[in-house]
């Protein structure tokens, strides 16, 4: 079967499952709301990160979206039914990843723009420049998309939404910060932190805005490749 109809079928799944639509809405709401609160509180001296600091929690919604989109296939024999229509597992998984990436990117970029507008309204003259702000908005959208894909790949490996969320949510909320406090610059290469360099006005580590996003992209690619290999090797 050609890729286009497979992608269309996967897109229908995305837009008809309320949990997935809720995950996309959560990306926008969590990032914007927590960023606005942090900006109003003056929690960060970096004006750009003060605007986009809510992306740390927006990543949780992105992870939930990517995880749920894949994990739904492992409930109730849904994957066997899918593969009976699309026997080529690699083609199906490529379509699934694309169907996750496109709406996540659209919502992520919208989230970045809305967050920037809200943050500049809150901070006024103390906010970032438009040039830096637009870079941050694009970085925000890309980081959220990559985290959704990273979660999707891991969900394909673990074949369970609960297991995937049990690993990733504590990792993002707790482990990454603990490692960051103890390991010096090593934590800058973790997927949830590397891409966030693009949300800072200045940076002291080895990674810049785009190289940081490239590191997160490598994590996402590795997870997707591992997921594709697992799907190819295991029974549905």
Whether 44 shows a pLDDT value over 90: the answer reads no
Strand stretches in the chain, DSSP E: none
Pick left, alpha or beta for residue 100 (phi over 0 → left; psi -120 to 50 → alpha; otherwise beta). Answer: alpha
At 29, the pLDDT band (50, 70, 90 cuts) reads very high
Rounded average pLDDT over 4-10:
86
pLDDT at 113 over 90: yes
* Mean predicted confidence (pLDDT) in 54-73: 94
Please answer whether residues 48 and 199 qualify as being in contact, where contact means their C-beta atoms are separated by less than 8 angstroms: yes
Of 106, 21, 111, nearest to 59 (Cα)?
Answer: 111
DSSP, res 129: P
Q: How far is CA 36 from CA 33, 40, 135, 199, 216, in A?
A: 5, 6, 18, 15, 25
What does pTM read for this prediction? Answer: 0.93
Query: Domain coordinates of the chain in residue numbers?
Result: 3-226
The arithmetic mean of pLDDT across residues 217-232, rounded, is 95
Q: pLDDT (tens digit, 9 = 90+) per residue, 175-218? A: 766 665 555 577 788 899 899 999 998 887 788 999 999 999 99
Query: Can you tell me the distance from the alpha carbon of 50 to that of 173, in angstroms, rounded to the nearest whole number?
Result: 18
Task: Quote the mean pLDDT of the chain.
Answer: 89
What are the tens digits of pLDDT across the range 79-98?
A: 888 888 887 888 899 999 99
Mean pLDDT of the region 33-45: 84
């Amino acid at each position: 079967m050609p890729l286009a109809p497979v992608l269309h079928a996967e897109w229908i799944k995305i837009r008809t499952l309320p949990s997935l639509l809720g995950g996309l809405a959560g990306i926008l709401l969590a990032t914007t709301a927590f960023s606005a609160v942090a900006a109003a509180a003056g929690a960060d001296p970096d004006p750009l990160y003060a605007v986009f600091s809510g992306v740390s929690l927006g990543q949780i919604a992105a992870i939930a979206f990517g995880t749920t989109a894949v994990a739904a296939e492992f409930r109730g024999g849904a994957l066997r039914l899918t593969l009976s229509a699309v026997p080529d597992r690699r083609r199906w998984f490529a379509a699934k990843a694309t169907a996750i990436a496109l709406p996540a990117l659209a919502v992520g970029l919208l989230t970045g723009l809305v967050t920037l507008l809200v943050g500049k309204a809150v901070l006024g003259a103390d906010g970032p420049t438009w040039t830096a702000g637009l870079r941050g908005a694009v970085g925000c959208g890309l980081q959220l998309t990559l985290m959704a894909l990273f979660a999707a790949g891991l969900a394909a490996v673990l074949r369970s939404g609960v297991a995937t969320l049990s690993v990733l949510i504590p990792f993002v909320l707790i482990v990454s910060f603990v490692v960051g406090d103890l390991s010096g610059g090593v934590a800058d290469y973790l997927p949830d932190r590397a891409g966030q360099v693009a949300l800072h006005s200045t940076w002291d580590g080895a990674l810049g805005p785009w190289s940081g996003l490239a590191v997160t992209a490598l994590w996402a690619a590795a997870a997707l490749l591992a997921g594709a290999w697992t799907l190819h090797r295991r029974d549905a």
